[in-house]
Amino acid sequence: MTCRSFLTRFALGLALAGLGPACALHAETPTPAPIVLEGHQGAIDAAVFSPDGLHVLTGSADFSAQLWEVSNGRGLGILEGHEHRVSAVAFSPDGTRALTASADGTARVWDLANGQEILKLTHAGGRFTSAAYSPNGRQAVTGGNDGVARLWDLRSGAELRQFSGHFEAITSLALSPDGSRLLTGSTDRTARLWDVASGEEIRVFKGHAALILSVTFSPDGTRILTASWDKTARIWDTETGKVVRELPGHDAAIRAADFSPDGALIVTGEWNRTAYLWNAETGEELRSFEGHGASIDAVDFAPDGRSLLTASWDGMVRLWPLPETLWPDLPDKQPVIAGPPPPPLVAPKAPRVVVAHPDMLVLIIGNRTYAEAPPVAYAHNDADAFAEYFRNTLGVLDENIIVEKDLNSIGMARYFGTDEVPDGRLARRARFVDEIVVIYSGHGVPVFHEQGLPSGYLLPVDVPAAEPGFGAYPLDMLIRQLESLPVRNVTVLLDACFSGLSTQGSLVPGVSGAFGVAVAPPMEKAKVSVLTATDFRTPQFAHWLDDKRHGAFTYYTLDGLRGAADSDGDGRIHLSELRDHVDEKLAQQDLRQSPSLLPGSEDTVLFEYAPED
């Protein structure tokens, strides 16, 4: 079994023994309609069948794991306690316990008879990215963002061994069917095979052109399967380390992959919302599975091989029955002794699915401490709050959320580029995404010209407010640079003013705090939408809310994005609705501050929620 996670994604390999020969493979009949499991409040990062195939366990960006009944799609209970997204899940071999691993740096073992947490494993200062139960049920393995896998004793909670060798984060891991070998995949583009008993590295599998997102063993352990951002899946010989077959016909990054219980089939899940079924021997594509609204991040075959699941950032799991011609001829096995289906642990919440943004890149800048200007007291808090929203509510990958605190002039130019050197860091990453959001909390300043109104500039922390010509970044150039990016749209949120004023008076030393100017609105471009904290044409300043410890614009913007700005109740939040919401809240607080909106060519839909049933 395999499950995979977002910003980094994860695989989970569980042992399936005693599997037999394959039947003839063909796919003449249409794909039957799936059963849909719906109820998570965020993207689903992980999903697996129980050993008896009667239940499914899921892990989500909403910080919870949920247990489901396969026969009718009913939610049986919620496992709550994690403080960050649940990135990996697994059943114990007897099906009576669950293992969950989270970006909060803990892995937890739960008793499914009563929903109680019975053990917590802690990775201080790091994040767990993947996890697997050992076939004997007495140990577990976790993978972390530090590139280290760890073996744990599930009776005492003691860490028994570390597996160190990857240069970057582990994204996926699996244990061989007999539990003697560990397989790990990493963002360093390699997979590695380890001896569980000694912790020694046995073999390195190299060849992928981008990060590896999913790894698993074949049921007999003689083959391994890797899936990568480079749009290929590869089957390798476990003992020789050589590639046996490549599945190259994918259109997007492959985020999850799994062998069928007899090893005859492979299922892959893609960034492009589609899963594919393959003949493992010939590499022939047999059929596809479509219907998800976002990236597929987990796939798993049922233990009997007669169905499979796909789980997605759209917050849903789909259970797909396979035609009888593809069913494996498995030998009789001793039934798994599992506990009775648990009663609901917490009443499942009514379905309300956040439309995920798998193709979004977010750059957040919080400039608090300036060399020659008053501090912006809550800029770092603003940056952290926006990052948490995009990560936990919208399910944006961790690696696609960039947070910069106290960014200097060189750093700002490196991200956005300049007219002379346009190829900045955003430009280099833009070809991998469809939309970009840029957020700035900090000072803006006016720059005067011989004629006309001043222009607005962003103020890096190392540039004097009195001399912005020495490195401040023009809004006009920012919008030009963003317009040139090869993406569908760019949204800019600016918690800043450009009048030369601040809550502590003038930004310019020696100038009266009553001094303030209007500035010319920046140029408008078709792809770039800009919402700012203040009116360009009025000398205003951006207020803070000391009781909230945030900028007022940031606080009410996040309030709006969580649903309060949806004035017409259609489940969609447009930039114009967000501006109106923030404007109303500022007026209710009697703050002389009116947000400005430059909508570009359309009133952008920032975020969308599927209507509640």
Cα-based distances in Å from 190 to 185, 206, 217, 444: 6, 5, 15, 45
Greatest Cα-to-Cα distance within the chain, rounded to the nearest angstrom: 87
Q: What are phi and psi of 508, to 5 degrees?
A: -90, 120
Among 191-205, 528-542, 546-560, the least confident range:
528-542
Who contacts 2 (Cβ-Cβ below 8 Å, separation ≥6)?
A: 11, 12, 13, 172, 174, 214, 215, 216, 256, 257, 258, 298, 299, 300
3-state secondary structure 254-312: EEEEEECCCCCEEEEEECCCCEEEEECCCCCEEEEECCCCCCEEEEEECCCCCEEEEEE
Q: At which residue do the structure tokens 């004035």 appear?
A: 567
d(CA 149, CA 434): 33
For the segment 241-256, the average pLDDT, to the nearest whole number, is 89
Q: Where in the chain is the domain with CATH 2.130.10.10?
A: 59-323
> Under a CB-based contact definition with an 8 Å cutoff, are residues 297 and 229 in contact?
no
- Reported as a pLDDT band with limits 50, 70 and 90, residue 286 is very high
Fold of 59-323: Methylamine Dehydrogenase; Chain H (2.130.10)
- Reported as a pLDDT band with limits 50, 70 and 90, residue 250 is confident
341-395 pLDDT, tens per residue?
444 444 444 444 567 777 899 999 999 999 888 899 899 999 999 999 999 888 8
- Reported as a pLDDT band with limits 50, 70 and 90, residue 339 is very low
Range 360-511+523-608 has CATH code 3.40.50.150: no
Q: At which residue do the structure tokens 């963003």 appear?
A: 482
3-state secondary structure 177-214: CCCCEEEEEECCCCEEEEECCCCCEEEEECCCCCCEEE
Q: Where in the chain is the domain with CATH 3.40.50.1460?
A: 360-511+523-608
Cα-based distances in Å from 203 to 130, 173, 217: 20, 15, 14
Q: What is the reported pLDDT for 206?
A: 95
- Reported as a pLDDT band with limits 50, 70 and 90, residue 285 is very high
- The per-residue pLDDT of the chain, averaged, comes to 85
Cα-based distances in Å from 183 to 16, 149, 163, 227: 16, 10, 10, 13
d(CA 458, CA 446): 9
| Pairing mode of beta strands 75-80, 64-69 | antiparallel
For the segment 8-14, the average pLDDT, to the nearest whole number, is 28
| Pairing mode of beta strands 106-111, 265-270 | unpaired
Lookup: tokens for 30: 């249409």
Containing 573, the helix (H) or strand (E) segment is strand 572-574
136-179 pLDDT, tens per residue?
899 999 999 999 999 999 988 999 999 999 999 999 999 999 99
